[in-house]
Amino acid sequence: FPEMLSNPRLVSVQRTLIVMMNQNESLSCHSDSGLPPVKYTLFKHNQNVSTLKSPVITPGLFNLTINCASDVGEYKCKAENEVSSGRKHSNSLNLTLIGPISKPVLSSPTSQATKGQNVTLSCLSESVSLPITYIFFKGKQNISPAMKTCKKEAAVIFLCISSSSDFRTYKCKAENRFHHSTKYSNGFNFTLADVHVVHSQPLITSLGLILLLFVIGFALATPFFIIPSYKASE
């Protein structure tokens, strides 16, 4: 009886799953047993990447070039021959892209604040090399723990403007696993809002609303006064 085809093993020839942009990566798919020829197929996220046939029981070697972020992620391979029924699938390998991090941008929904007001700051790097760790600073003082994210999303902190020192310059730092890859953001400052303007805005809004209601009421009531007067004159 022919030897049954075994489940293939998918391994990185370079023995690393961390890759850089424009790097060549080789993945080996190999079934230890089974009657040749064996057809190997490489998949990425269940999409066919490449197929090759091995005339003997030797590894199928797939050569990749990492050109963009879509070239990394989960890879699997499949083995099949003309004797064994069904297909044999391998373990999965996850390639992670790493490279220099881009300069983060520090921003807030508001640039003006009053004492006692709660504000937010967000820090985001457009780098495709994840995970990214963010830290916030006020002046040279660290004001947040290290905030690690595995998604392309901003790190956010919540602050209360309680004293004049809270109007100092804020910055954030972003770093990933790439060697010596650390970037600092632009500086951001909150300015003290004019308290009189802030307090007068609700009053102005209320007066405007009252005036609008008065005009609408006058327009609706006018026909009731004009028509009777017109009939009386007849």
Q: Could you tell me if residue 213 is inside a domain?
A: no
171 and 152 in one domain? yes
CB-based contact 112:161 (threshold 8 Å): no
Q: Please indicate, yes or no, whether residues 117 and 132 belong to a single structural domain of this protein.
A: yes
Coil/strand/helix, residue 18: strand
Identify whether residues 92 and 126 lie together within a single domain.
no
pLDDT tens digit sequence for 14-26: 999 999 988 999 9
Residue 232 falls inside a structural domain: no
Radius of gyration of the chain (CA): 33
Tens-place pLDDT, residues 163-196: 999 999 999 999 998 877 899 999 999 999 876 5
In a domain, 212, yes or no: no
pLDDT tens, residue by residue, 23-37: 999 999 999 988 889
Question: How buried is 157 (Cβ within 10 angstroms: 0-12 exposed, 13-18 middle, 19+ buried)?
Answer: middle
Specify if 93 maps to a domain: yes
pLDDT for the residue 199: 46
State the average pLDDT for the chain.
86
| Residue 174: domain span | 104-191
More confident residue, 75 or 200: 75
Strand blocks (E) in 152-217: 155-160, 170-175, 182-184, 191-192
Beta strand 88-89 with 105-107 is: unpaired
Domain containing residue 137: CATH number? 2.60.40.10
| Residue 2 confidence (pLDDT) | 63
| 65 alpha-carbon distance from chain centroid | 24
